[in-house]
Structure 1
C-alpha cells in the first residue's frame, strides 16, 4: 500500500494538534491492546476479534538485500508506528493513503522493546527531518511514504538508525476515542500548575480529573496556554498515556470479559499491521511486556536546528552526533539509558 503526505510548513492548526493525539493512539496500540488480548486469550471470541478486525498491509517490508541484520541472539524488537488522520483528520488531501479507513499519516514513531521486555522506549521522529531517502536523494522523512510507500519508509528509517524494523502498525483516531469511551473515561493527573481552557472550551485544573474522549483529545492537543508550548503538551500526553494504561490494566477491567471484549473490538478495526503481527504475536508480546507499563521512556529524535531546504521546504536538520548515539544505543540495548539522559 502506498501513502501520500504533505510538504507544508508547520502551522499551529488543528491538524498539527491532531498529530499529538495520534502519538497517543500509537502507544496504546502496543502497550494496551497487546496486553488486553494476552490477558484474555481464554476468550476465543476475543482473540479472534483482533484477527478478524485488524487490517493487514498488502506490502510492508523492502527487499531483504541491504537491510540491517540482527545478531542471532538479539531478541529485542523494533516496531514502526504510524498515526493516521483517518476518521477525524483534516481530510484536506484528495489522495489519501491506505492506512486504516483511509487517511493520511503524519506521525512516525520508532518503538524499541529490549530483550528483557521490562521497559519500552518510544522515539518520535519529526516528520520534517531532512534525511537521505534511499535511491531518491534528500527529502523530508515523511516524503518516503509518497515516493515508495511503506517499504521505502522502512528502508529510510533503517538506514537512518542502522537498525532493523521487525514490525509495523498504523492506527486511526477513532480507535483512540472509542477506547476512552469503552473505558468510561480516564482520570488524568495534570502537572500544569494553573488551570487552562482549550479552544474547544474545556477547562482543566491542576491535579487529577476524569475526562471523556472529547475532553482527553482537547487536553493532549492544547498548547497555546503554556509558556513552553510543546514541552508542556508532551507532559500532558505522557500523563494521558499513563492514565489510559493504568485504567485499562486495572483488575476490575481485566476481570470483566464484557469490558475487555468491548475495548478490543472497539480498537482493533482501527489497526492496520504487517502480516507477521497476528493475534498470537500481539498477545505474546503484550503478555511479556505486562511489567513494562511503569517503564515507558518517551523522547524525540534530537535535531540540529531548523531552516529551509534549497527548494524552499521548512525542515529540521539532523543532529548527526545524536543519530550515531541512538544507533549505538539500539544496537547494544542501552536505549533506556539514552532516553533517561534526554
Structure 2
C-alpha cells in the first residue's frame, strides 16, 4: 500500500511516466490464487459496492522465534471507504479462537481453532473463507507480505521515526535496548521492534501496536521523506516493497494507486478486532472474540460506516 501511495504521489507531477513505471512494477509482483476453491454460495454479500476490503496477511519468514511452518503471523483487514480519503486497518490477533471451515482436501478444519491455523491447513483460500465467516465482511482482494522485507523497505527510506512508550530490551540477538521516546530506526532495528511481545503484559497485543506504528511511520516517511524527488531512492523503495508482496490475480495496482493518492498517515485508523481477552482452550493460549461487539463493529465495516469504525478505535 505504501509503495502504491508513493507512486500515486509521483503521478501527480507526471501521470504518464508514473503509470508506465507502475506497470513495470506490476509485472514483477507475484500473483496468487487467493479465491480458488472458495465456495461462492458461502461468501458474504457485498453490501457497500463502492468500498473495498483487502485482507493483508503477514508472515515473518525470518522471525528468530519461528519454529513452525506456514502460519501467518499478522492478519489485517484493510477497509477503504468509497471516497478513498481514509483507510481503516483492522488487526485480527493471530490466536483468535474461531471456527475454521473444512479445507479443500477435507483433511483439516471444520472445527474451532486459532484463526491463523487456516493458512497452514488450506493456504490463502481457506484464510479468506475463515476471515469472511468470522467477520461476515466480503474480502475483495488479498495481499501477502513477508514482513522480513520491511527491513529493506525501511532502509530504502533512510529509516523511520518511532516513539517508544517504555524502555525495554529485545529478547533477540543482538539484544537491542529501546529507550523511551522518539527515535529513528533503521530496517533491522524497526523489524526487531515490531517482533517483540514476551516482555509485555498484553503479549501479542503489544506486538500488534508496534506493527501498526511501523506501518504508519513507513507511510509518513514515504510521503514526506524526499523519495519522490530522488528517482534512485524511489526505485529502491518500490522494488523492495514489490519483492516482499504477493497479490491476488484481479488486483489492479495502477487503479489502486490512483484511488489512494490522497492518503497519508494521518488518514489511517488502526483498530484491533474486539476481544474479551486471552485464556486457554486445552493446552492452547488463545484470544476470545467479543461476539457482541464484533458483530456491531463488522456490521459497520460491511455498511462502510466510517465514523462508526473510527469511533471503535478510540
Task: Give the whole-Å Cα distance in 2 for the aligned partners of 1:151 and 1:286.
Answer: 26
Map of 1:15 onto structure 2: none
Q: TM-score, normalised by structure 1?
A: 0.77
Name the SS of the counterpart of 1:323 in structure 2: helix
Task: Give the whole-Å Cα distance in 2 for the aligned partners of 1:208 and 1:44.
Answer: 36
Is residue 138 of structure 2 the alignment partner of residue 152 of structure 1? no
User: Which residue of 295, 310, 315 maps to 2:286?
Assistant: 315
Is residue 185 of structure 2 the alignment partner of residue 211 of structure 1? yes
Aligned in 2, Cα 1:328/1:273: closer, same or farther, shift over 3 Å?
same
Aligned in 2, Cα 1:270/1:118: closer, same or farther, shift over 3 Å?
same
Structure 1, unpaired ranges of 5+: 1-29, 98-103
Name the SS of the counterpart of 2:308 in structure 1: helix
**Residue 335 of structure 1: how far off its partner (Å):** 4.7
Aligned in 2, Cα 1:92/1:319: closer, same or farther, shift over 3 Å?
same
**Residue 239 of structure 1: how far off its partner (Å):** 3.7
Task: Give the whole-Å Cα distance in 2 for the aligned partners of 1:227 and 1:92.
Answer: 23
Aligned in 2, Cα 1:66/1:122: closer, same or farther, shift over 3 Å?
same
Query: Where does 1:108-123 land on structure 2 (aligned, <5 Å)?
Result: 108-123=75-90
Task: Give the whole-Å Cα distance in 2 for the aligned partners of 1:152 and 1:48.
Answer: 30
**Residue 318 of structure 1: how far off its partner (Å):** 2.6
**Residue 284 of structure 1: how far off its partner (Å):** 2.5
Task: Give the whole-Å Cα distance in 1 for the aligned partners of 2:175 and 2:279.
Answer: 34
Task: Give the whole-Å Cα distance in 2 for the aligned partners of 1:232 and 1:129.
Answer: 15
Aligned in 2, Cα 1:176/1:38: closer, same or farther, shift over 3 Å?
same
Map of 1:37 onto structure 2: 7
Aligned in 2, Cα 1:187/1:280: closer, same or farther, shift over 3 Å?
same
CA contact 1:35–1:286 (8 Å) conserved in 2 = yes
Q: TM-score, normalised by structure 2?
A: 0.83
**Residue 166 of structure 1: how far off its partner (Å):** 0.3
Map of 2:106 onto structure 1: none
Task: Give the whole-Å Cα distance in 2 for the aligned partners of 1:263 and 1:124.
Answer: 25
CA contact 2:152–2:240 (8 Å) conserved in 1 = yes
Aligned in 2, Cα 1:87/1:51: closer, same or farther, shift over 3 Å?
farther
User: Which residue of 95, 98, 108 maps to 1:128?
Assistant: 95
Aligned in 2, Cα 1:308/1:87: closer, same or farther, shift over 3 Å?
closer
Map of 1:303 onto structure 2: 275
Task: Give the whole-Å Cα distance in 2 for the aligned partners of 1:84 and 1:228.
Answer: 21
Is residue 33 of structure 2 the alignment partner of residue 58 of structure 1? yes
Is residue 153 of structure 2 the alignment partner of residue 179 of structure 1? yes
**Residue 333 of structure 1: how far off its partner (Å):** 2.0
Name the SS of the counterpart of 2:39 in structure 1: coil
Name the SS of the counterpart of 1:208 in structure 2: strand
Q: Deviations over 1:219-240 (max 9, x none)?
A: 3334566676666655544443
Task: Give the whole-Å Cα distance in 2 for the aligned partners of 1:292 and 1:307.
Answer: 37
CA contact 1:67–1:155 (8 Å) conserved in 2 = yes
Name the SS of the counterpart of 1:123 in structure 2: strand
Aligned in 2, Cα 1:272/1:90: closer, same or farther, shift over 3 Å?
farther
Task: Give the whole-Å Cα distance in 1 for the aligned partners of 2:250 and 2:216.
Answer: 28
Q: Deviations over 1:60-94 (max 9, x none)?
A: 351322312224x621111111111224565534x
Give the aligned CA root-mean-square deviation in angstroms.
2.7
Q: Deviations over 1:146-175 (max 9, x none)?
A: 333322221121121211000001111332
